[in-house]
Structure formats: structure tokens, C-alpha cells
Amino acid sequence: MGRDRIRRYPWFTAAIVLSAVQLMAEVLLVGRMAMIPLQEILITLADLAVIVSLLVLVEVARRAFAGAQRSLWLVNTAGLLVVAGGILAFWGPWPASKDLVWDTTIARLHLMQFVAQKGILLVALLTIELGLLVVIFGRHYKAGWRSHTQMIVIGLSTAAAGLLALEVILGKLQGTAQQIFKTAPPDARQQIQHIVDLAKKLQNANEAIFIAALLWWIVWLWLDEPGAAKIETAESPIQAEPPRTAK
């Protein structure tokens, strides 16, 4: 707030604030509200977080590639969406169209939750793709090394990569648990408990990655970008001392 970063990155700031609101809602409301109202609040916040995250990507891309031609914008945007959408299409199970209904409260919550889950994955894929573009080509535009835009993208991409890795591993663990249920070995209970404990550790590790990204943003957004001092000096030159009058 004191370094004039909110004005430059309003949607990124909104995403951080919304993340804090989601965390406070989970901590303060879980176990203290009825299940349906609680799920309505949490799932609505998750859907809103997906929308804000997409706006963050647009904001960062506009700052990183300011001055790029419109045709280049269109081609790269379409390419990112095609690649991310293609990966998402094969990622995990998709419900049948008949299951996507809107007639009851429970059905609406399930649909909203499904949109949030797939939206989070889509945002993570787009974030990693945009991060690669900024790191590789950003220096030719407005996102060179140590620029705030590139530092934001690096943090976002790291958190997104951790999230995708977590989703892949949890999917493997879920498949292993289902196989254990089918075969029902003598030590099935111990194996299932081991999988549950491992899943919790992985989720904690993913949260640690996000905390590391927060610390990364705090440090780099506090520091000035390279050349900022020269620009400020050029914009506010020191006035020369007026000549003294002869006595």
C-alpha cells in the first residue's frame, strides 16, 4: 500500500485479498454454520476466485507485453486457450450433461463446485503458460528480469505448478485407495490411513509453496524495479540554486 503497487496491479491485489477472505471463512465458519449455507459461501468464493484469477492473468499479460501488435495478442491468446483447454479436457472425469442440472439447491452447489474445480485447473494451466512466455520473451517488452510483472508471474506460476502436481498425486492416491477397497487386503485399514496421512502432508506442502510465493511477492514488490530511481530523478530534477544578487 505504501509503495504504490495497488494502483498498478489492482486485480492482483484483489486476488490476494480474496484469498485471505477465503481462508478466514474456512477458519471462522467451518463447524459454526449449517452445512448448506456454509457450502454456499465457500463455493461462491471459489467461483469468484476463478474469475478474479483470470482477470489477474489479463492484467499481468497487458503489463508484460505492452506495445505488442494486436495480431500477436490474438494468436498467443488463442494458442494459450487451446493448449490449456485441450489438457483440461483430458484431465479427470467429466460428468454427463444430464447430471449438470440447476433445479435444486444441492444440484446448483454441485454445478458451482464443478465449475470452481475445473476453473482452478484452467487458471493454473494458463498461469504456467503465461509464466513461460513472460520469462522467455518479457525482456523484449515491459517485463524484464526483476521487474514487478515478472516477479508476480514467477510466484503465480510456482503456486500453479504446485497445485497441478498436488492434483496429479491426489488422483493417483485416489486410484490406489479404490484398488485397495476392491481387493480388501488384511491390512486395508492401515493402507487407507497411510494414504490419508500422505494426502494431508501433500496439502500442507502445497500451502507452504503458496506461503513462499507470498514472501517472494512481499520482497520483490517492496523493492523498486531496475531503473526506477533514474526515471524518478529524470521526472523530478533538482532545481538549481538561484543566483545571488550583488550587494
**Is residue 18's pLDDT more than 80?**
yes
How far apart (Å, rounded) are the C-alpha atoms in residues 22 and 7?
A: 23
Q: What is the pLDDT of residue 236?
A: 43
Q: What is the pLDDT of residue 246?
A: 46
- Give 194-240 pLDDT, tens digit per residue: 889 999 999 999 999 999 999 999 998 888 887 655 444 444 444 44
**Is residue 63's pLDDT more than 60?**
yes
If you average pLDDT over residues 14-23, what whole number do you get?
94
If you average pLDDT over residues 11-28, what whole number do you get?
93
Q: What is the pLDDT of residue 228?
A: 59
pTM greater than 0.75 (yes/no): yes
How far apart (Å, rounded) are the C-alpha atoms in residues 234 and 229?
A: 9
**Is residue 98's pLDDT more than 50?**
yes
Confidence band (pLDDT; 50, 70, 90) for 81? very high
- Give 119-153 pLDDT, tens digit per residue: 999 999 999 999 998 888 877 777 777 788 899 99
User: Of 33 and 46, which is predicted with more confidence?
Assistant: 46
- Give 178-202 pLDDT, tens digit per residue: 888 888 787 778 888 888 999 999 9
If you average pLDDT over residues 4-26, what whole number do you get?
91
If you average pLDDT over residues 47-54, what whole number do you get?
96
Q: DSSP letters of the chain? A: -TTS-TTT-HHHHHHHHHHHHHHHHHHHHTTTS-HHHHHHHHHHHHHHHHHHHHHHHHHHHHHHTTT--HHHHHHHHHHHHHHHHHHHHTSS----GGG---SSHHHHHHHHHHHHHHHHHHHHHHHHHHHHHHHHHGGGTT--TT-HHHHHHHHHHHHHHHHHHHHHHHHHHHHHHHHHHHH--TTHHHHHHHHHHHHHHHHHHHHHHHHHHHHHHHHHHHSPPTTHHHHHHHHSPPPPPPPPPP-
Q: What is the pLDDT of residue 237?
A: 44
How far apart (Å, rounded) are the C-alpha atoms in residues 172 and 162?
A: 15
